[in-house]
A and B are shown apart, each in its own frame.
Chain A
């Protein structure tokens, strides 16, 4: 019955992926910790499952008018160039410190995002309570 858990892991991370948040954060630990898969094998699955999952989510996003098309092609082309250069650098250097530095940067961004969300949340609540009191 272990096949069910593969589908469940895909489902959970697919939801997060479809929201443009990044499903790898769920899928890789789920595959390695709960299903006993090797880290590299899990990363390969993560990369491959993402293609149909993101494609179908993207179709819906385009239909809902949530994709900004102006400048998209340029952004993607530069992205591809950056990815190739990045992959080349990654093969040739020991990226340990760089990786840790990037992680600290991401952690800072995470705190910033949560604070931004919290502010929006509370400001909406205060608006709501104002309209209630009127």
Chain B
């Protein structure tokens, strides 16, 4: 499972998490909320490695990174709070919508 998720992440630069959430739900099996939170725990170290590989030695707009991260950190706290309150059904629907949007973008890019 980890290998496939990593492969997807490395190959397509994204989508590892989107594969892991339903995989954890179906095969582990984990409850929906736990699948989402645990996915974050797996993807974070992967992203740190990707960041080191992709960002090393290239130009980065650090000011933009700082601003987006400032918003991101506050949003991350709000998102984590929402996750522990939202129902599994709504979580599935929201996830499906974002997954679909991402897939369509990938299909036409």
Contact = CB atoms under 8 A, between A and B. Distances in A.
Interface of A: 3, 6-25, 27, 29, 31, 37, 41, 43-45, 47-58, 60-62, 64, 66-68, 71-72, 74-90, 95, 98-100, 102-104, 106-107, 109-121, 124
Contacts of B48: 51
18 contacts: A6-B68, A19-B82, A20-B40, A21-B36, A21-B94, A25-B105, A37-B64, A45-B64, A52-B73, A53-B75, A66-B36, A82-B8, A83-B9, A84-B49, A89-B10, A115-B96, A117-B96, A120-B87
Interface centre among B16, B73, B97, B104 (most CB of A within 10 A): B73
Contacts of A11: 71-72, 74-75, 78
Interface string B63-101: 011011111111111111111101111111111111111
A51 B33 CA distance: 21
> Interface range on chain B: under 10, 10 to 19, 20 to 34, or 35 or more?
35 or more
Closest 9 CB pairs of A and B: A14-B75, A18-B79, A82-B6, A86-B10, A10-B71, A78-B2, A117-B92, A20-B36, A120-B89
**Is chain B's binding surface mostly helix, strand, loop or mixed?**
helix
A18 B11 contact: no
B28 A18 contact: no
A84 B14 CA distance: 13
B16 A7 contact: no
Given A14-B79, A45-B61, A104-B103, A27 B68 contact: yes
A119 to B, nearest CB: 8
Contact of A22 (B17, B53, B67, B93): B17
B36 A19 contact: yes
A6 B54 contact: no
